[in-house]
Amino acid sequence: MNLSVQELKQKLVKTLKSEYGYVPEEATDRQMYGTVLTVVQEMLLDKRGEYLDKLKQKDPKRIYYMSMEFLVGRSLKNNLYNLCLEPEMKRAVAELGFDLERIYDMEPDAGLGNGGLGRLASCYMDGATTLGYPVTGFSIRYEFGIFKQKIVDGWQVEFPDNWLEMGSYWLTPRVDEAVEVHFEGNVTEQWSEQGLKTIHSNYYSVRAVPYDLLISGHKSDAVNSLRLWRAESADAFDMNEFSRGEYVKSMESDAKAAAISKVLYPADDHIEGKELRLRQQYFFVSASLQNIVQAHLRQNPTLDNLPDKVVIHINDTHPALCVPELMRLLLDEYGYQWEKAWDITCRTLAYTNHTVMSEALEKWDLNLFRKHLPRITTIVEEINRRFCNEIFEKFPEKRGAIPSMAAIGDGCVRMANLCVIACYSVNGVSKLHSDILKEDLFKDFDDIFPHKLTNVTNGIAARRWLCQGNPLLTSMVKELIGDGFEKDLMELKKLEQYESDDTVLSCLGDIKQRNKENLARYISKANGINVDPCSMFDVQVKRLHEYKRQLMNALHILHLYLQIKNHGLEMEPRTFIFGAKASPGYFMAKEIIRFICGLGDMINKDSSISGMLKVIFLADYKVSLAEMIYPAAEISEQISQAGKEASGTGNMKMMLNGALTLGTMDGANIEIYEQVGKDNIFIFGMDTPEVNRLKAEGYHPRKVYETNPYVKEVLDFVQKGGIEGKNFETIVSYLLNNDSYMSLADFESYRQIHQTVNDVYKDACRWNQMSLHNIANSGIFSADRSIMDYVNNIWYK
């Protein structure tokens, strides 16, 4: 966008006056914040108008990305960057007496997601919009996003995230496009002249009101939207009850409806099975599909060609109700016969799977399902009946597999099976993960639908994670290879020519140093602990999960501490940094946080280890905090048990910022390894076949304890209350008796790779060379590349 500082100033002054009635000299930071956001939002709306006009003329196939989560983070800086207006806005704001950096800091994260899956959805909105594809995101306008985390005495405490107070500037309500969603009630069949008709009656109606959050693309004409639904009662409160003086009762129906869009469920990679969650899913699916169908019918006389003009992409199974809901619309609302409706449905829907872990594969109790969604239940039953019949008739060799392939079994609706049965495309999110889907989880499906399963390796919004988050590194890269990498991240490859250039390498080292100093300042403010910015920053930031093995990292830190203290180990000074939210009901995850914090308390105050070790737990890990952490990371810990992390995306973000990966052969780590080669990554531990073999043989963690003296020393120390006199019995007994993700089995290999890391770090030049090599080879992990894979292999195939 071409706007001068002068023009921006005029807009700001005008908006400040009209919104708040003030001139700049009288305005507060808060008012200037509202003014800047309003001005940027207006520019986006203008641009969006022009884009919609163009779309109407060209009428390309539309993509609808259905996701219960979009972890948007902050938008102001991103929008200014994408509109190429940041320098001008900075000056305009400054000339009016304000500081744009302070205004950035006032913006809350739009935390409408838990972690990787939600952030991926937002990275894809960025990529697709920059590339000019008409992708609309659909989700829920949660009043409260992911909880705010505080640590009190080492224990995680959750607080509500009231993001709308400062974040609603980006949302445009579209009351004109509100729709109704029907729950509960009775389903009956009735004969009419058109044949047998299904009638859904006595339902409970909820009104869905859309709010649009506009997504800008970088140097692109496109402005896409993320449409977020808010729930409210379909009928205003009961005036009769109100008149009778029953004030509270008259509001009840309103509260019941509003509960649907009240709060994001904070469980990640885990199912909750709660009724309200099912209602959330159906609410947003039904509202979105009604909206999609209506939009299609505004441009087309029929739904017959829906698959030619529309893809509805299901982000994991959380929106799997798209399958029966699209069927319901076609059958009940638009009078299609089953076969035709099924054909349209199957050719319109695509599904991405993000996990193979059984505890995260969604199932719904059939009775609960029927109570809330009676009509949808009859449709799922019919889909299942026909599918099982078809297998029985057409694939006699698969008859034995019918029970495990069915969409309904053991009294549950199995959402993943439903998606694989219906969708024309099913993809995993890394090569390894997609192979596991083909060879294991969905093997029988792959045999009967040979071309359905495919892979799209995840990617990240490099413009956010590098250009906006790491301005120093970005300037260096621009000086060396120009700015082509902003639009084509593969251009980073050109950096390889500087791998032996001492000036470049030391400049890279200096930049990392300054980013570490920046993070150290934050740590000192947030945690009251001074860390040495010259120490190595070793980072593990992600949701807390047993399979991600933060506990193994912590055990190893304790091992280092004991070696320094009792055995005179000398090592390069190291700062271990953790950030992780635990699902509020996940006890073991919270215990692990308590363990890390206890460990930190003990180590950080022990002056006898002369500053060789520090352990920092940063509370409230979120997108905006990640933007500060990644540029400062030197070691990226990606240590999940092989076969468990579908992809990981933090691994890509840290690589892009020059951190070296210390990881297992899991998820996208394998593809990072392929990109950088074995000499530029630290790989350890069992691979997937080895894990499976050990599991088959029978894994006995206590044997590791008995045979590995380091493991024994560490666990004995914890057992004796060595960590601040605290009781970590749950952790010790978990490790000795279950160790579900084999941390002890991988411990020795983990310990050794850390020694290698320590040795390599002594050679700063070599380290920087490896770091530059990682940056140069991170191009493939751009979300733009992932989007092009979706475009070529799934959406516009």
Tell me which residues are annotated as active site. Answer: 354, 542-543, 548, 649, 653
Q: Least separation, in Å, of the C-beta of 467 and ligand GPW?
A: 22
- Under the binding rule (CB under 6 A), the answer on residue 36 touching ligand GPW is no
Nearer to ligand GPW, 458 or 550 (CB): 458
279-318: contacts with ligand GPW (CB under 6 A): 316
- Under the binding rule (CB under 6 A), the answer on residue 429 touching ligand GPW is yes
Phi, psi of 613 (to 5 degrees): -135, 140
Nearer to ligand GPW, 79 or 647 (CB): 647
Among 354, 372, 375, 414, the residue binding ligand GPW under the rule CB under 6 A is 354
Per-residue mark of binding to ligand GPW, 494-533 (x: CB under 6 A): ----------------------------------------
Among 647, 768, 777, 778, the residue binding ligand GPW under the rule CB under 6 A is 647
Nearer to ligand GPW, 440 or 488 (CB): 440
- Under the binding rule (CB under 6 A), the answer on residue 116 touching ligand GPW is yes
The partner residues of 155 in beta bridges, in order of sequence, read: 152
- Under the binding rule (CB under 6 A), the answer on residue 320 touching ligand GPW is no
- Under the binding rule (CB under 6 A), the answer on residue 223 touching ligand GPW is no
Please identify, among the stretches 281-289, 641-649, 689-697, 759-767, the one whose residues bind ligand GPW according to the rule CB under 6 A.
641-649
Return the ∠ at Cα 495 (arms to 491 and 497), rounded to 5°. 125
469-498: contacts with ligand GPW (CB under 6 A): none
Binding-site size for ligand GPW (CB under 6 A) equals 19
Nearer to ligand GPW, 260 or 360 (CB): 360
CA distance 614 to 206: 52
- Under the binding rule (CB under 6 A), the answer on residue 649 touching ligand GPW is yes
Please identify, among the stretches 81-89, 131-139, 352-360, 371-379, the one whose residues bind ligand GPW according to the rule CB under 6 A.
352-360
Among 171, 642, 646, 660, the residue binding ligand GPW under the rule CB under 6 A is 646
Q: Least separation, in Å, of the C-beta of 124 and ligand GPW?
A: 10
**Residue 306: both structure tokens together:** 């829906």
- Under the binding rule (CB under 6 A), the answer on residue 546 touching ligand GPW is no
In the chain, count H helices and then E strands. 34, 25
Q: Which DSSP string do the residues of 121-187 spell out, in sequence order?
A: HHHHHHHHHHTT--EEEEEE--SB-SPEEEEETTEEEEE---THHHHGGGEEE-GGG-EEEEES-EE
Query: If you ran DSSP here, which 8-state letter would residue 432 be given?
Result: H
Tell me the CA distances in angstroms from 291 to 233, 298, 460, one per residue in order.
19, 11, 29
Q: Least separation, in Å, of the C-beta of 430 and ligand GPW?
A: 8
What three-state secondary structure class fits 320? coil
Residue showing tokens 């982000």? 315
Burial class (CB in 10 A: 0-12, 13-18, 19+), 691: buried
- Under the binding rule (CB under 6 A), the answer on residue 616 touching ligand GPW is no
- Under the binding rule (CB under 6 A), the answer on residue 268 touching ligand GPW is yes
Q: Least separation, in Å, of the C-beta of 269 and ligand GPW?
A: 4
Q: Least separation, in Å, of the C-beta of 702 and ligand GPW?
A: 29
- Under the binding rule (CB under 6 A), the answer on residue 269 touching ligand GPW is yes
Do residues 23 and 87 touch, judged by C-beta distance below 8 A? no
Name the residue among 104, 33, 88, 128 with its Cα closest to residue 623. Answer: 104
> Does the CA dihedral 747-749-752-757 come out positive or negative?
negative
Please identify, among the stretches 389-397, 484-492, 639-647, 780-788, the one whose residues bind ligand GPW according to the rule CB under 6 A.
639-647
- Under the binding rule (CB under 6 A), the answer on residue 552 touching ligand GPW is no
Please identify, among the stretches 248-256, 300-308, 472-480, 645-653, the one whose residues bind ligand GPW according to the rule CB under 6 A.
645-653
Q: What are the percentages of helix, strand and coil residues in the chain, rounded to 5?
A: 55, 15, 25
Do residues 68 and 137 touch, judged by C-beta distance below 8 A? no
- Under the binding rule (CB under 6 A), the answer on residue 120 touching ligand GPW is yes
Q: Where are the beta strands (DSSP E) in 489-558?
A: 536-541
Nearer to ligand GPW, 123 or 312 (CB): 123
Nearer to ligand GPW, 355 or 474 (CB): 355
Q: Which residues contact 181 (CB under 8 A, 6 or more apart)?
A: 205, 206, 207, 208, 282, 283, 286, 287
CA distance 205 to 396: 44
716-755: contacts with ligand GPW (CB under 6 A): none
**Residue 136: both structure tokens together:** 């609309």
Q: Least separation, in Å, of the C-beta of 338 and ligand GPW?
A: 30
First to last CA, the chain: 33
Distance, C-alpha 609 to centroid of its chain: 38
> Does the CA dihedral 491-496-501-502 come out positive or negative?
positive
Query: If you ran DSSP here, which 8-state letter would residue 460 be given?
Result: B
- Under the binding rule (CB under 6 A), the answer on residue 715 touching ligand GPW is no
- Under the binding rule (CB under 6 A), the answer on residue 111 touching ligand GPW is no
- Under the binding rule (CB under 6 A), the answer on residue 355 touching ligand GPW is yes
Please identify, among the stretches 112-120, 243-251, 721-729, 764-772, the one whose residues bind ligand GPW according to the rule CB under 6 A.
112-120
Residues in touch with ligand GPW (CB under 6 A): 114-117, 120, 268-269, 316, 354-355, 360, 429, 458, 645-649, 667
